Structure 1
């Protein structure tokens, strides 16, 4: 029993990426995925028609991932910087809506939280946080691995270069 407990403890520690090294995979090196199906916090499907024509940034996180939680204020700052008519930032987790809503209500961060209908593994995500970026046509163009400076010059330049 102890061995199983230690295994899950180590798995949890190593699957969460605290490393500030900012890794960016382009579509050539990333496992390209379609935009995953997601539910809003009220259980209704995300309205992708409303998001058409926007660059979609999907930050994949979990309530147990400390680096994910640590970067949320920086993601909020990013959401306020990016033009809302050009970008949409979604924080997506594959945990239950009940667990997500409880976590979110205790944080007070005004971000767009959603529940993934796919497992994170089916998206080729094996470490958290990971952020998938989709172009206006819904094609995955970048994968941003690990905790990063979301308002850093490098990151803002990356997003700015996606605009026409």
Structure 2
């Protein structure tokens, strides 16, 4: 009986000692400084490719998501003087009161191949003339209008890919990925 009491008392003491020694034995970790300090490192020095053209062919501008455009026509001096030239209504909105779930507009239009492209909450893709807003064409994916992963229908946008020899990676799932 005496040996059992000894082991019962020794086990918690060993666990406590192991926990305390482990806390002191751990390496301290400091958060490293950011790899890039945007104000002090040029894109060339950081080996980030600078977009060369006027294309805005995917969400955030490029596949690298830089949100950068080399265009200078609109700047801090004239941005306040911009006026609406045209607007386009897709009609793809729902309040959710009928058979179609509610929809939320959150797509980023892209510009490529002299065309403005936009995806709608009803899973359609629309191509517009950038100067006039005139519809060039519409592609209806005929996807069921079901809010599968969120409480509302939503399209985060489209991306532009033009390549004859390689196929793009398909990051989306099921009927949400379309190549036209």
TM-score w.r.t. structure 1 length?
A: 0.27
Give the number of the structure whose alpha-carbon radius of gyration is greater. Answer: 2
Higher relative contact order (CA 8 A, sep 6+): 1
TM-score w.r.t. structure 2 length?
A: 0.25
